[in-house]
Amino acid sequence: MKSLYKYYGIAVLALSASCTDILEEETFSELEPETFLATEKGIRSLLGSAYSSIQVQPGIPQQGIYALSGLSSGEVSSLNGSIEIFYRQLSDFTWDSNNRHILGQWDLYYAAIRDANVVLSNIDNGPFSEDFKTLITAEARFIRGYSYSKLYNLFGPVPLYKDLFNEDLLLPRSTEAEIESFIEQELIFASTNLPIRAIEEGRATKGAALGTLCKHYLNTKEWQKSAEKANEIISLGVYELLPDYEEVFSLDNEINDEMVWALPHVAPDAGNQINALTYPSDFPRPGDLRLYPVIIFFEDEFVLSFEDNDARKNLIVTEYTNTAGDEIQLFGNDRSFPAKYPMDPNGSGDGQGNDIPDIRYSDILLSRAEALNELNGPVQESIDLINQVRSRAGASEISLADFSKQSLKSFILDERKREFFWEGKGREDQLRQDVFISKAVERGKLAQTFHVLFPIPQINLDANPKLVQNEGY
């Protein structure tokens, strides 16, 4: 964080310094201090950089979205490849403050916060209309609230950088109350001022802000607030479950009404590596797509947790014919793997253009069902919300009379695993239900209480002496 802010501090000083040297040349550029961030183009460019940090996340940080959650929660396991040492740490609870997947998440979310802060510090410096300022401010504050919610989930309280020019470059960690309050106020402001429909793909909406706030409240166990925000999203009337589960992830249907907030990608320039890190290297694929030797797999027990008619199971590969023509049997050997994101024929190398879902409408329905159960125990509304999700998948409906509060809580956790496999939600779901450590211990992992948070990356501790490492690391 120190280096990121120092970079911008130097850049701002360089742009704003006056020079009386007789050799100074007169320049004509939109990058001049008087024009760069005093134009809509300049502000939009910097806001686009902030969006890029939280959405595109190339290379290691992008893998981290899935690796940190899927491997630590036991949702998936992994073998092979040059990154196996880092993946193995996440599976075995032997990660440390030098794990590059952990570092990648810290760096990119703080990069987004930095850019959002620069936008907010300059939004009053140009001849902008009030509508433009309101919209851009709402988007920048959404990015800050979203980024801090992700950092808080991973690391606990972190330094709160809110003002580029009027605060120390080296800040200590905030308190839990401070960061929770800040996330809340940012997302409330954003949800009040953002449009219901995105101005263009990838830009924040009212639903995205409400959805992020709904999940933040859920993960911090503010059940009533989470239930209320979920209901606000439902009441907007702009989201729905698509009839076909597989179509939710189709390349031809990426901007669909189930995606409350998605991370857009376009191949090859802004492609993602998720498929390259998921499919076996001998799996048939179109064109020159590259697949890594990493093997991501489900155990048979998870595959068996789906009913026979459950369409979600169709996006799990249990057997295939490889590029050599051999029949490869995966189920029965604990080696089935997710195929939720179809191969992109327009991709190149390891980059493919699948948009990655962050919050889907089914998540909102199940979040409200869970929050209501925590508040009141089993009620018919919770059952109805769960049945919406199950019925779309072709699974049998459940009945209120079959559940106690605890059994419904456990059922929702299992249902979320079936609905959101390989979408980076397993860790936060288990943490919220206080089973993250116990389930890891059951799997024979070296999990201890302090593992509910990841360590602050060592490089950031070295750069900022005011930071204190999380307990246990």
Cβ contacts of 206 within 8 Å, gap of 6 or more: 191, 194, 195, 196, 236
d(CA 258, CA 249): 10
Residue position matching structure tokens 């049945």: 387
What does the pLDDT read at residue 111?
A: 94
% of the chain exceeding 70 in pLDDT: 90
Lowest mean pLDDT among 181-185, 254-258, 352-356: 352-356
d(CA 368, CA 385): 8
β-partners of residue 298 are 336
Question: In this predicted model, which residue has the larger pLDDT, 84 or 374?
Answer: 374
Query: What CA–CA distance (Å, rounded) separates 127 from 121?
Result: 14
Query: Residues for the chain: how many in total?
Result: 473
> Residue type at 339?
A
Who contacts 340 (Cβ-Cβ below 8 Å, separation ≥6)? 249, 315, 421, 422, 423
What are the pLDDT digits (tens) for 294-304? 888 999 999 99
CA angle (266, 268, 270) in 5-degree steps = 50
Q: How far apart are CA 185 and CA 192, in angstroms?
A: 11
pLDDT of residue 337: 95
Which of 440, 452, 396, 392 has the alpha carbon at shortest distance from 419?
A: 392
Cα(244)–Cα(257) distance, integer angstroms: 12
pLDDT at position 86:
81
Chain segment 35-72, per-residue pLDDT in tens: 778 899 999 999 999 999 988 755 555 566 778 999 99
Q: What is the mean pLDDT of the chain?
A: 90
Q: Any idea which fold 1-9+27-193+434-473 has?
A: 1.25.40
Asked whether residue 22 carries a pLDDT value surpassing 50, the answer given is no
Query: Which residues share a beta bridge with 295?
Result: 79
Q: Sorting pLDDT into bands at 50, 70 and 90, what band is 276?
A: confident
pTM of the model: 0.91
* pLDDT digits 0-9 by tens, 179-215: 999 999 999 999 999 999 999 889 999 999 999 999 9
What is the residue extent of each domain of the chain?
1-9+27-193+434-473, 279-300+311-337
For residue 54, give the H/E element and its range: helix 40-55
Question: In a 3-state reduction of DSSP, which class is residue 296?
Answer: strand
Return the H-helix or E-strand segment holding 278. Answer: none
- Cα distances (angstroms) measured from residue 186 to each of 138, 146, 426: 8, 9, 26
More confident residue, 53 or 311: 311
